Structure 1
Amino acid sequence: MNGTRISEGWDLPHGGRIRLARPGEVPAADALLDPVGVRVESLAAQGVDDGSLATLLKAGLDGGQNALALAVATAIAGKELKDAVPGLSLLLVAEDPQRQIVGALTAMPPYSVVAALADRGVSGERLAFLCMVIAKISGLAVADTARGRGIGTQLLKRATQIYQQLSFQLVYGQFDDDSATLPAFYASRGFTVKAVGESEDLSVFLGVPLAVHSGPTERLFTRWRR
């Protein structure tokens, strides 16, 4: 896969395409994500509208992991780490044959974790590294009228494929435990589904105590790169 492929997208089995969101499409994605309690995070939304979404990921897909590291270093030179976040983020949308957006997935580095570590005095170099090895799937939704066509599976597959090709070591997310279908959905697509409230240890990345936690009624789903 190369950077152009993300923008051009992939055909869906029942017609339509999955592709990177374009300027002006955040409201349509939010309309799908809102019923599951999610909206496109502001840094990713900014990237959609100003054209910086996934630009660093594309550089890495075209030139390899060293190219990704160089692109991130250039993006944050004289700036803040958050300036690189849109370029490391995804908003993938699924459009039907009539070009209506019927599915959305948003993913990005775990910036809330990064910000908390910055407050603890962790160096910028280590934090930038963290943003290049961990990605969080913040939301995934498919319109009721488009379910049963494998759209959610394809969105999840493409997002995971992009990050793992770039040697991201962990892709994860979380969902409310009241869902009867999501545990089996994620487990059957290669993710480990954690127990309610169980955390995932990330200290291996920085050599300091670090974990991502789910809420008291939430479950994490995780996929480590093999």
Structure 2
Amino acid sequence: MKREDVEKLLGWAREAQKVFEESGETDFEELRRREKREIYDRFEGSGFDVRNGSIDKYTGYEAVDIGDLTARFYFYNDSNYPYDMLLFIDEEYVPVQEFVQHLEDLLEGKTTIVNLTPHETTVYDAAGESVLQVIPSSGMARAAQTREPLDSINGIPVSKTGYGAVEGLPDQRDGVVYIVSVLTAQAAPDRTDLYIVDELVRDDTGQILGYKALAQI
């Protein structure tokens, strides 16, 4: 993807993110008509032609592909403005904030870190005193659990548990790594892009506040 296209797309995505934040919504369908028009007009104003994009015959979404990124818009009949918008990185649906982060990382030549644990994670400095970064959750990858009943102890059921295939984990792609749980990382030993949090930072009561490093298993 040309740097010029990344810069134009990033400028638009930041404005779209601002609209979402000001509205309090996370789903394009829930935005007001005026807000949808603002996002769409800025997209076309950035030089991206939606109406000449390819139309998915199954979903009806018109797709604009820019390198490994895709913006898909759905129009009702002959409406001039979209009812829905979806953003994708390598065919994986992402929220607008992750779309923005990916574009920023592309410009800076940085690796994109995607948090696939249920909660945001907080990165601290080496001293464990200052917060360097907060990485929001972008979904959840987990190892499917199996359970085989065995017996009981004093009336309490006993099972043998195991972990199978990982669910919710995107395909590996260049420039992107994923923060996952220990169990998830252990269940996907062939993946080189999975990391767990390491060197935990705790408060005086032992409560985990964040971490100072990442590690691989």
Instruction: Settle same-fold status: TM greater than 0.5.
Output: no
Higher strand share: 2
Higher helix share: 1
TM-score, length of structure 2 as denominator length: 0.29
TM-score, length of structure 1 as denominator length: 0.28
